[in-house]
Amino acid sequence: MLVAILAGALALAQQIDQPQSYVAARVSSAAKDGSNADAVRVAQKSLYTVADLSGAGRIVHMWFTIATAEPDYLATTRLRIYWDGDASPAVDVPFGDFHLLGHRAVRQVSTRFVTVEARPELNHNLANKNVAGFNSYFPMPFARGARVVIENVSELPLNALYYQIDYQKWDKPPSTLRFHAAYRRTSPESTPDNEAGRRDARNADGRNNHPIVDVNGSGHLLGVVLSVDAAGAGWWEGDEMIWIDGEPKPSIAGTGTEDYFGGAWGFRKEYNMPDHGVSFLEKVPERKDWQAGRYTVYRFHQHDPVAFRRSLRMSIERGHNNHRRDSAYASVAFYYLAR
């Protein structure tokens, strides 16, 4: 069944020259009176529903831009998405991390599913130059409705939130799958030495790994974004581990963090490719190791989705056998679950 769903989704993408079986629609912050006052204000410590859709359909594009005096708005703003009247959100992620930016600063991003148009060096007329146009193109089907919510947890308001949510209206649900995004964070730990990182050390169970996703059900993994505040060298040698359907040992085991995220021999500069890249790289001068600094890396699995029928668990080592537990890790896993 899952194979058929994946084949159907691929066929839909390839049949752009065929008649489309939906009605295109949009909800946005556009002024209702025909003026150009096209933004809404989101008060401090509050929620704002940007879309409340009914019936069957699919969200196909979301665009946002935000103006605020809050310097850390990429972390203090959260994106939540609910499907089919569910009480719990399937997506509950800091706004920056969802858009492949985990360190509270905008960057130009160009990938298969997420793009960010950012040119802070040209924003001479803006008090807060850390702004951008944020786009996501994840297909998000639903059967009975969808609700998209912006949460502002800051003490400062979002003075201007602009948005466009483009979606399709269908006569019947276009898919049994629902889009999810899971955010996980691992705080740095005090480590007296790097004994665990000896080349003859072993990490068979992943006990001290950074957890990325742990979910029950049927579906497939679509992608991962990982942000690391690296205290020193060796962090990008951590291997990914993926357990499918409750297997005792991970059937998918990697050879290093930079390898899973499509690079090699470490991360040397920011770059964007459709399915993998380094969306943020910032060295920290007071950290002597050349590998130390702040990084955000991403990998999408459109061409190689990791399917599961009962459960999926994924984690990644923090350096050689978790010897870099003194580094902070944060991740978002993008995946689909069947209803």
Quote the number of domains for the chain: 2
Residue 241 and residue 296 share a domain: yes
Show Cβ contacts of residue 112 under 8 Å, excluding neighbours closer than 6 positions. Answer: 137, 274, 275, 300, 302
Backbone angles phi, psi at 319, to 5 degrees: 85, -175
**Residue 112 CB neighbours (<10 A):** 16
Q: Is residue 17 part of a domain?
A: no
Residue 107 and residue 32 share a domain: yes
Domain range for 231 is 179-189+205-338
Q: Is residue 293 part of a domain?
A: yes
Type of residue found at 68? T
Type of residue found at 160? A
Residue 184 and residue 259 share a domain: yes
Whether pLDDT at 16 is above 80? yes
CATH number of the domain where residue 225 is located? 2.60.120.1390
Q: Is residue 196 part of a domain?
A: no
Residue 140 and residue 39 share a domain: yes
Segment 202-245, tens digit of pLDDT: 898 999 999 999 999 999 999 999 999 999 999 999 999 999 99
CA distance 264 to 259: 6
User: Which residue carries 């079986």 as its tokens?
Assistant: 21
Return the percentage of the chain with pLDDT > 90, whole number.
84
Residue 256 and residue 125 share a domain: no
Residue 170 and residue 28 share a domain: yes
Asked if residues 192 and 104 have their Cβ atoms less than 8 Å apart, the reply is: no
Residue 224 and residue 141 share a domain: no
Residue 222 and residue 98 share a domain: no
CA distance 308 to 244: 6
* Lowest mean per-residue pLDDT among 169-183, 189-203, 269-283, 313-327: 189-203
Asked if residues 136 and 109 have their Cβ atoms less than 8 Å apart, the reply is: no
Residue 249 and residue 149 share a domain: no
Q: Is residue 5 part of a domain?
A: no
